[in-house]
Structure 1
Amino acid sequence: MKAGGERLLIAGVVLAAAGSAVVIGLLAALPLPGIAAAIALIAALGALGLIQIRDATPAARASVADWTMVRAVADGENVPVLLINRDGHPVCANQTFESRFGGVGFAAVPFSDQDRAQLTISTRFAWQNGSATFNARLGDRNFIIAATRAGWDEPVLVWRFTPDETYDRAADVIGAIAGDIGERLGHAGIMAAVIDERAGLLAINAAMALRATAGARRELNSNELDELLTLDDAGRLRFVAEGPAAAPLRLFQVPLAEEGQDGPRLAAIVDDDSAIVSAGGDEALHTLLSMLPFGLALADRDGRFLYINQAFMRAGGVPAGSMPVYPSDLVIAEDKAAVADAVRRFALSRSSQGDIAIRLKARPDDPIAMTIAGTRGLGEAAALLSLKDNSEETRLQREVAQATKMQAVGQLAGGVAHDFNNILTGIIGHCDLMLMRHSPGDSDYDDIQQVRLNSNRAASLTRQLLAFSRQQTLRPQVLQLPDVVSEVSNLLKRLLGETVELVIQHGRGMASVRADPGQLEQVIVNLAVNARDAMADGGTLTLRTYAMSAAEVRRLGSDVLPIADYVALRMSDTGTGIPEELITKIFEPFFTTKEVGKGTGLGLSTVYGIVKQSGGFIFAENPSAGGASIVIYLPIHTGIGEQPEVTKPADKPLELWGQGHVLLVEDEDMVRAVAERALTRHGYTVTTAANGEEALELLEGDEAPDLLISDVVMPSMDGPTLVRHARLKFPDLPVLFMSGYAEEQLRRSIDIDRVHFLPKPFSVKQLAEAAQKVLAEAAAE
């Protein structure tokens, strides 16, 4: 451990010891809830002191001050833990991770290509939704690999690699056959062994070992099964040690590996003339099947069930207390004939095996595989059926697919909004220029105003698209959620009308949150309007704000919501509710259940984007009491490491008339023409360039322009690259970027000092104001 790490460990231990001493000394005077809180404090301090954090970068040591991150690491101290930052680089790993994988970072983990692709999908899902989980086989073990997003200032993903003991079927069966279960099978007359794909023995019960060695009781774990058994000319099976005069045997095998993969098998041997398999209702055989950890059933030649174990019942969605007669009773009507034919076909062929995709009545939307194998030597049983309960895996796959789709749609929405903003800039700009030549009362004045009004309405739609794609510019403030609700309550009463009653309830002890108050008001209004439309005959809309502690979040058991302290807003209505098949789609852009012309489908997608960009989470529910509920969780604001906000005095109105030389760089001809005419009308001398290369040629002279106005995204050379080259020659050159993307998004990707932003679409007046403001600030420096 490095010196910094040692100091951190020692400080943690001292802190834990001191905290423990103080808390223990006060325990006697505390009531029961106080004692529980003290014990929790001791546990937290102890975990912080004892966990050995391995720094991957120097910045990792500073991140230990984030209590959320330290707590997340402490929760997984007994399993490999790795922290990854936004860039995908490892921040730190615990000792268990380094010991297990021999390094720090995902590069040290022996992922297969398929698992590495799943890792990429899960990483995106975790950054967007707070957590993700998938299964992978690493070396000789299966792991449940789970990510949790932690930290607010510099968030990281905390990855835990938990060994999946229940997932390894072969290991479970090997332990059972070699232990007490194998002993009980032997007493029932069943000889059992687990063999690998090369017929090597992995486990054997005492009954089979005794018969295979003719009572010699020697070690057999290294022998191959074919060395113990022999076939005579008539195809009868016997133990080699017992000789040709011994009674023939019957052998059947059950695959333990996943479908379509080689792997261990369970081999069961019984005497050919034994009464054990004389009928399908044999108790010993059923005992064997009931002990196996996966769904198995036996069917006769007509396809009737003879036996079903509990795992098969669970996987098939069979209600407790009922017993299906045929396998086709488990599936939907469209699959009944195919299942019945497949069972009969495999039952007659005996030695064949195959899979068939089925849709269960219990889960008609999730096709699963049923494995059917013909059997021999099992009395009336002619077919062995196997089902795997993959409902959890299917649910996770659906969540990952939904998150991936939402991310892809968000990227598309952001791109469409950018291109559309360029078009609207030209339309609004030309309207402003025409209005300068017309006065109220002219025949064309009202028409131009109408075109401008509709253009501004279109611009509001692009802002909604940017909100959904989380690319809008937010102006976050530290605020109390009840205050925001109070500010918008009067507007809500007017929007809801007389038939809908508005009920507002505020909880106690709520902490502050950090969000854009204007955007939060838009969220509340959009949700209220949707609720009103769902209550056509009137009803009650309830807005409730309350605090959610980390303990309460943990009790929710959500796979998406990270365990932390939140302030929640729940909006519940008494309307028609949300159909279950639509509840996962309501936040998608342009999805609406309203009639044509009565909605754009952007209301809830805007809400979704604002909440997610604010660091929160949003869920839709159908309460048992009826109606629908939308719940928003916003993380509490701690203010750690932040500078206090300083209220700036209001800026004085700028004089729009200016002077000076402006270099205008814009690849869209329409936008470039409007901006040139607007700046010229306000007194500037304007030189234009259609791309970055042309602008650099114009800057080759010795005289610098007074202001450089450039688009951000341009072909060949973009705006930031142009500015970097220009400032090599003119370090003090003022720069104004204009873009259809959001300022907040651009500032994260552009590392250039002393630049200003003007979002598209803009009017002639807004362009003149922005140019004048940049020149005024440059002159004041």
Structure 2
Amino acid sequence: MAGRSTYEELEQRVKELEKEAAQRKQAEKALRESEEKCRTVLEANPDPVVVYDKEGKVIYFNPAFTRVLGWTLEECFGKQMDVFVPEEDWPETKKMIGKVLTGERLSGFETHRYTKEGNIIPVSISGAIYRDWNGGLVGSVINLRDISEQKRLESQLIQAHKMEAIATIAGGIAHEFNNTLVGIIGNIDLLQMNFPDDEIISKYIKVMKASSLRMVDLTNKLLAYAREGKYQSKIISINDVVRDTLSLIRHTINSSIQVETDLPRDISDIKADLTQMQMVLSAMLSNASEAIEDQGRIRIITREEEIDEEYAKNHSGLKPGYYVCLMVEDDGRGMDEETRSKVFEPFFTTKHHGRGLGMAAAYGIIKNHDGWISVDSELGKGAVARIYLPAVKVKDKEKETEGNRLQRLSF
């Protein structure tokens, strides 16, 4: 009986061990599947993800980390990633690490990180620690979202709001100037009428009138910036605008500066005020020539472009559609980002003299023509000013031509 009992106990124990082995095998399979799912999720994540051990050493990068930041897992495995934290961001980063290690989940922490190439990009960081089966700290998982595009769009929006606010103020000042100038110029004309033969008075009247007319020009530029100027739009050729404007102002550009044009014949027309367009191009050329300190080159280029939704989304104020593009390139000293961001502000100038209203007026004029204007530049690399104006459709052009013909017949 004792032998039988021992045999049955052994048999029972074998069954229990087989059951435990089967359960362990099933658990291992489930763990492998879970790990595979986690890896699939991490590798499919468009944001960079880095996994650290409890000592802060890298044990995993997802492909997005390499794509965005440049480092591969082979380069950094078992190492700490101090190298990609800019010095000025270390204090906040240390606080973030401390919070994560205490078990606090982190979300939306904005800071900066270096790429392998040495560029600094803004990132939004989310992260948490992970533990073993016994609750012990194993490491941390950190998600870094590149928010460069978001920051760029935010900057564009802030700049657009600032420009609108300044335009409102400029418009109010211009109207006040106009009201005052009407009285001043009117009285100057009366003086001239009452003392036509007085040479001394005429001499002073001439100076006063010249100063008043300069103020009128200043006021008109302020109104143009505020998008309140008077416009007489008609269908015109952008290439003709370039040629006519160059013939008027070429003598004002330093003779050591070479001016080149690239004006294809098959460019669509635009509907715009000719005088205002000449003012815009004059401002762009003046800005370009002033950036060239000695010898240099300015290129004026016209093109026809289709703006798609993706491009328009990344350029605030620009709508999808067909446009005529006018570009003015120079190889001058260029501008840093701070200077470039202020180029359309009234009275902003990099010169020691001058009123700095030309580009501000150009901004208002182009906006009032449902267009878009920008300047791209880097220090030492020149600048490119671009304007986009809606291309006139053939049907619209035929309608206006027919309207003009009927108007002439009616006279």
Distance 1:374 1:563, change over 3 A: closer
Give the percent of matched residue pairs that are identical in Structure 1 and Structure 2: 28
> Within 2, Cα distance between the matches of 1:467 and 1:542?
26
Note if contact 1:328-1:340 (Cα within 8 Å) is conserved in structure 2: no
Find the counterpart in structure 1 of residue 50 from structure 2: 297
What secondary structure does 1:375 align onto? Answer: strand
SS at match of 2:404: coil
One-letter amino acid of the structure 2 residue matched with residue 396 of structure 1: L
1:608 and 1:618 in contact (8 A); partners too: yes
State the match for 1:338 in structure 2: 92
1:423 & 1:188 partners in 2: Cα distance? 85
User: How has the CA–CA distance of structure 1 residues 430 and 556 changed in structure 2, closer, same or farther, with 3 Å as cutoff?
Assistant: same
Q: Counterparts in 2 of 1:590-739, with a 5 A limit?
A: 590-595=347-352, 597=353, 599-622=354-377, 626-638=381-393, 640=396, 642=400, 644-645=403-404
TM-score (norm 1): 0.42
Structure 2 residue corresponding to 1:522, chosen from 261, 279, 292: 279
CA distance in 1, matches of 2:373, 2:332: 19
In structure 1, C-alpha distance between the alignment counterparts of 2:335 and 2:304, rounded to whole Å: 26
User: Residue type of the partner of 1:459?
Assistant: V
Corresponding residue number in structure 1 for 2:13: none
Task: Write the distance in 2 (CA, Å) between the matches of 1:329 and 1:305.
Answer: 12
Corresponding residue SS for 1:388 = strand
1:318 to 69, 72, 76: 69
Q: 1:414 aligns with which of 147, 150, 171?
A: 171
Which one of the candidate residues 398, 412, 419 is aligned to 2:155? 398
Q: Give the Cα separation in 2 of the matches to 1:409 and 1:299.
A: 49
Structure 1 residues 93-144: Cα deviation after superposition (integer angstroms, max 9, x where no partner): xxxxxxxxxxxxxxxxxxxxxxxxxxxxxxxxxxxxxxxxxxxxxxxxxxxx
RMSD: 3.5
8 Å contact 2:69–2:114 — kept in the other structure? no
Which residue number corresponds to residue 104 of structure 2? 352
Could you tell me whether the CA contact under 8 Å between 1:328 and 1:335 is conserved in 2? no
Alignment match, 2:228: 471
Of residues 183, 187, 207, the one that matches 1:426 is 183
Q: 1:422 to 1:308 in 2, by over 3 A?
A: same
Q: Is 2:114–2:121's contact at 8 Å kept on the other side of the alignment?
A: no
Q: Which one-letter code corresponds to 2:332 in the other structure?
A: G
Aligned mates of 2:379, 2:342 — CA distance in 1: 21
Contact 1:327-1:339 within 8 A present in 2 as well: no
Aligned CA distance change for structure 1 residues 320 and 386 (closer, same or farther; 3 Å): closer
How far off its partner does 1:320 sit?
4.3
- Structure ranking higher in helix proportion: 2
What is the alpha-carbon distance in structure 1 between the residues aligned to residue 384 and residue 301 of structure 2?
Answer: 11
Taking a change above 3 Å as real, the CA distance of residues 440 and 626 of structure 1, as seen in their structure-2 partners, is: farther
Alignment of 1:348-387 (within 5 A): 349=102, 351-355=103-107, 356-361=109-114, 366=122, 368-377=123-132, 381-387=138-144
- Secondary structure (helix, strand or coil) at the match of 1:542 reads strand
Q: CA deviation at 1:472?
A: 0.5
Query: Which residue does the alignment assign to 1:13?
Result: none
Task: Give unmatched runs, 5+ long, in structure 1.
Answer: 1-184, 193-275, 277-282, 649-781
- Candidates 308, 314, 329, aligned match of 2:83: 329
Q: Counterparts of 1:174-573 in structure 2 under 5 Å?
A: 187=29, 189=31, 289-292=42-45, 294-312=47-65, 317-321=68-72, 323=76, 325-326=79-80, 328-344=82-98, 346-347=100-101, 349=102, 351-355=103-107, 356-361=109-114, 366=122, 368-377=123-132, 381-439=138-196, 441-548=198-305, 550=306, 553-554=307-308, 557-559=311-313, 560=315, 561-573=318-330
Instruction: Give the Cα–Cα distance (whole angstroms) in 2 for the partners of residues 609 and 303 of structure 1.
Output: 54
Q: Show CA shifts across 1:45-89 (max 9, x none).
A: xxxxxxxxxxxxxxxxxxxxxxxxxxxxxxxxxxxxxxxxxxxxx
Q: How many angstroms does 1:284 deviate by?
A: 8.6
Gaps of 5+ in 2: 1-26
Structure with more relative contact order (C-alpha pairs < 8 Å, separation 6 or more) = 2
Give the superposition deviation at 1:191.
7.1
Q: How far does residue 507 in structure 1 lie from its aligned partner after superposition?
A: 0.5
Q: 2:124 touches 2:146 (CA, 8 Å); kept in 1?
A: no
Distance 2:384 2:197 in 1: 49
| Alpha-carbon contact 1:331-1:358 (below 8 Å) kept | no
8 Å CA contact 2:262, 2:299 repeated in 1: yes
Partner deviation per Cα, 1:657-711 (whole Å, 9 max, x = no partner): xxxxxxxxxxxxxxxxxxxxxxxxxxxxxxxxxxxxxxxxxxxxxxxxxxxxxxx
Kindly state the Cα deviation for residue 494 of structure 1 after the two structures are TM-superposed: 0.4
- AA aligned to 2:335 is I
| Residue 429 (structure 1) shift | 2.6
Counterpart secondary structure, 1:618: strand
Distance 1:306 1:579, change over 3 A: same
Does the 8 Å CA contact 2:42/2:62 hold for their aligned counterparts?
A: yes
Query: Higher mean Cα deviation, 628-637 or 603-612?
Result: 628-637
For 1:385, what is the secondary structure of its paired residue?
Answer: strand
Letter paired with 1:359: H
Distance 1:326 1:358, change over 3 A: farther
User: Shift of the alpha carbon at 1:463?
Assistant: 0.9
Equivalent residue letter for 1:610: I
CA contact (8 A) 1:492 1:528 kept: no
| Alpha-carbon distance change, 616 to 342 in structure 1, aligned in 2, over 3 angstroms | closer
Task: Report deviation, 1:537.
Answer: 0.8
Say which SS state the counterpart of residue 384 (structure 1) adopts.
Answer: strand
Confirm or deny: 8 A CA contact 1:503 1:540 kept in the other structure.
yes
> Which amino acid is 1:360 matched to?
R
Kept after mapping to 1: 8 A contact 2:51/2:141: yes
Q: Could you tell me how far apart the structure 2 residues matched to 1:473 and 1:288 are? A: 59
User: Given the superposition, is the C-alpha separation of residues 300 and 485 from structure 1 closer, same or farther in structure 2, using an over 3 Å criterion?
Assistant: same
Relative to structure 1, the CA distance from residue 302 to residue 526 in structure 2 (aligned partners, 3 Å threshold; closer, same or farther) is: same
Would you say the 8 A contact 1:527–1:604 is kept in 2? Answer: yes
Contact 1:303 1:344 in 2 (8 A): no
CA contact under 8 A between 1:478 and 1:513: conserved in structure 2? yes
Contact 1:511 1:547 in 2 (8 A): yes
User: Distance in 2 between the 1:414 and 1:498 partners?
Assistant: 37
What count of residue pairs does the alignment treat as equivalent? 366
Structure 1 Cα separation of the partners of residues 60 and 165 of structure 2: 47
CA displacement 1:414-463 (0-9 Å, x = unmatched): 12211222222232233333333334544444334323322221221111
Residue 498 of structure 1 deviates from its aligned partner by 1.6
Q: Is the 8 A contact 1:298 1:306 kept in 2?
A: yes
Q: Residues 416 and 482 from structure 1, CA distance in 2 versus in 1: closer, same or farther, beyond 3 angstroms?
A: same
Contact 1:479/1:515 (8 A) holds in 2: yes
Report deviation, 1:327.
Answer: 5.0
Report the TM-score, using the length of structure 2 for normalisation.
0.76
